[in-house]
Structure 1
Amino acid sequence: MQPHTVIDVMIILERGDRILLAERANTGYADGLLNLPSGKVDPGESVIEAAVREAREEVGIDVAPSALRTVHVTHHCNPEGQARIGWFFATSHWQGEPVNSEPEKCAGIAWHRPNELPDNTVPYNAHGIAHYLKGENFSTHGW
């Protein structure tokens, strides 16, 4: 175990009955799998600030902090034994059209039905989305 827990933010961008997923590429972790726009909270940054930043960096949109709804939190343990806290935020309000802003890390973005996620969705993300759809605000995963 590492000495501290990593804090992640995942942004569920909702457009009608679809959510946006990105295909990971060239990162060394979960390449070829689909995940939500997401990332780690930087030192000195709140989870809301991190979500706003990640949405801008990964898919080129501006999300107002007030537009983000906290929909799920999970205490996750990855296969390597690393603990993480995952904050899932949802919104259907943003400025701009989502694009692949990080082509060096992402093979493309596409809209998917959240209740019919592709088999190649990152399990950590699929877990949080499933609990969000059930209205459950907290879970553990991988312990």
Structure 2
Amino acid sequence: MIMADGERFKLPASVFVMAREAGRVLLLRRNNTGWMDGHFSLPAGRIKGGETLVSAARRELEEETSLVAKESALFLAHVLHSRNEDGQEWTGYFFECSRFDGSPYLNEPNKHDRLGWYEADQYPSPLVPYVAQALSAIRCSQPFSAYGWAATG
């Protein structure tokens, strides 16, 4: 995207939460959204104005799963710079959380039809592709990756 001189580029951001328990990761299956329905993903959402990344991650975890975590229990594990097929760029901030209260519950049945704990080496299929990439990067302790960009160099 070409910007006019002096125009500031704005990069939308989303947060993702990798809730962990006993070596397993909590995943949701998308349903009735019109985008990637049938694919599994982490609890996630866009950042609202006036909130920090970590407060957005805490909010999304609770909104989608009923799990309540303190902000101090969320740790940044990965940053993803993504470009969609239409050229729109955004960043994804993936947080890990293994301390939370409550039991997971499908809080948004209009957006998800399944919620469950899955072994890190046996994720269900299909996963949202950039989420699969981020989960793999986290497993390898890779703090950053890019998705949807043509290979260069």
CA drift at 1:61: 1.3
Superposed CA offset, 1:18-70 (max 9, x none) = 10110101111111110000000011111111001101100011110000011
TM-score by length of 2: 0.88
CA drift at 1:14: 0.5
Matched, 1:92 2:121: no
> Residue 9 of structure 1 corresponds to which residue in structure 2?
15
Q: Is the 8 A contact 1:41 1:50 kept in 2?
A: yes
Q: Secondary structure at the match of 2:121?
A: helix
Matched, 1:121 2:127: yes
State the number of aligned residues. Answer: 143
**What is the distance in 2 between the residues matched to 1:63 and 1:80?**
35
Matched, 1:67 2:67: no
> Residue 25 of structure 1 corresponds to which residue in structure 2?
31
| Greater Rg by CA | 2
Q: Is the 8 A contact 1:21 1:112 kept in 2?
A: yes
CA drift at 1:4: 2.8
CA drift at 1:90: 0.4
CA drift at 1:103: 0.6
**What is the distance in 2 between the residues matched to 1:38 and 1:12?**
9
Gaps of 5+ in 2: 2-8
**What is the distance in 2 between the residues matched to 1:79 and 1:19?**
28
Q: State percent identity of aligned pairs.
A: 35
**What is the distance in 2 between the residues matched to 1:80 and 1:18?**
34
Matched, 1:77 2:80: no
CA drift at 1:116: 2.7
Superposed CA offset, 1:61-80 (max 9, x none) = 11100000111001011222
Q: Is the 8 A contact 1:115 1:130 kept in 2?
A: no
Which of the numbers 113, 135, 140 marks the counterpart of 1:134? 140
| 110-119 vs 91-100, which moves further | 110-119
TM-score by length of 1: 0.94
